[in-house]
Amino acid sequence: MNNDRELINFKSRGWFLYPRGHRLSKGQEQPKFRVNPRSTGIVSSTTYEKHTLQQSLMLEAQELERCQQLGIHTGHIFPVRLIDFNEQENQLTTERVSGNELFLTIWNATYTIGRLRGHTLSGMDIIIDRITELGRWLRKYHNSSADSLPKDSDGSWMEAEFHRKIDDIRKSRLIPQAKLVKIEHKFGSELSKLRQPGYLSANRAFPCRVHGDFLIYNILIDNQHNLHILDFGDTRISGNLEDVSRFYSSIWAIAQTNRTRRKLFGDLPQRFLRAYGVSPEVINTPYFRCNLVYNFLTHLEGQHYMRDFLSWNSNREMTQITQAGMKWVYQQI
């Protein structure tokens, strides 16, 4: 993985590890085709066209349009701009963003091999400020839909998805059965309470439209240090803390992987939470902890599924993050 490549946003099996695309050379106009199990992408000098047979892209297009119409952005944080949606062809066209993946920007400058390749920590203070600003953008995004939902809206989507995740992990034998049973019993029992009225509010949460895959991997940073939010393909109605915990879990796990990252990013998860408008103590609520478990299980499953698509070094990097998350999960049981 290196950050002089441009991110082309491919979704694989609902997961967030993406093959990196090909940077267009100066003046190059020919589009590049990229295919993975879930979608096909075509990158030109100005646009990215996404097509898939597995699901309709209409909800993603509608959500991008809603963000544009309502002006859901902050000073330096912007959703990727929708250009067109062809319903008949199920083809979504968005503006091409020239930038690097935010994950690679902070990862490559904070370990030995990356620094030997010339990546530096210059501008890291600005990047940390931008990640903090993501909390404010996310709250603005969630608030924009919170008052316009059906009265029976809740976060119960997560219960069925959690058990599906457990089943997939069991079939792939990624976790010893004894531990998996404990995880399923403890956190599955808690998630069954999502159907109870008042459960979200009791856990400092509320229903809204969520991004659905709000991770550091789905954000680009451009030369002006603006951040661009990608991949609204999993947008749905759920609990707001689903998005919050998803991003929190990714930056928390990254911060655990070496001494440099702990020093630079150790308090970043808490800063993100405060910028969103919640106390860092929210991580101790049962709902938030269930979401963390789900996120770390997703990282485990996703890395397993993508292992043949990633280089040796990329697999090594992802393993460090996966291990940090799974260590926390095992401590909970």
- Binning the chain into helix, strand and coil, the percentages to the nearest 5 are 50, 15, 35
Residue 42 lies in a domain: no
- Does residue 76 lie within any of the structural domains? no
What is the count of structural domains for the chain? 1
Domain-located, residue 134: yes
**247 domain-assigned:** yes
In tens digits, the chain (333 residues) has pLDDT values of 333 333 333 333 232 333 333 333 344 444 444 444 455 677 777 889 998 888 899 999 999 999 999 999 999 999 999 999 999 999 999 999 988 999 999 998 887 676 767 666 778 899 999 999 999 999 999 999 999 888 888 888 999 999 999 999 999 999 999 999 999 999 999 999 998 989 999 999 999 999 999 999 999 999 999 999 999 999 999 999 999 999 999 999 999 999 999 999 999 999 999 999 999 999 999 999 999 999 999 999 998 888 887 788 788 888 999 999 999 999 999
Residue 180: φ, ψ to 5° = -65, -40
Partners of 100 in beta bridges: 221
Kindly tell me the sign of the dihedral angle through the C-alpha atoms of 331, 185, 197, 210. Answer: positive
Residue 212 resides in a domain: yes
Residue 197: inside a domain, yes or no?
yes
Residue 177 belongs to what domain range? 99-331
Any idea what the CATH number is for the domain that residue 247 is in? 3.90.1200.10
The closest alpha carbon to 254, from 245, 265, 244, 263, belongs to: 265
In a domain, 224, yes or no: yes
Identify whether the C-beta of residue 165 lies closer than 8 Å to the C-beta of residue 297: yes
Degrees, nearest 5: CA angle 170-216-330: 35
Domain-embedded: residue 243: yes
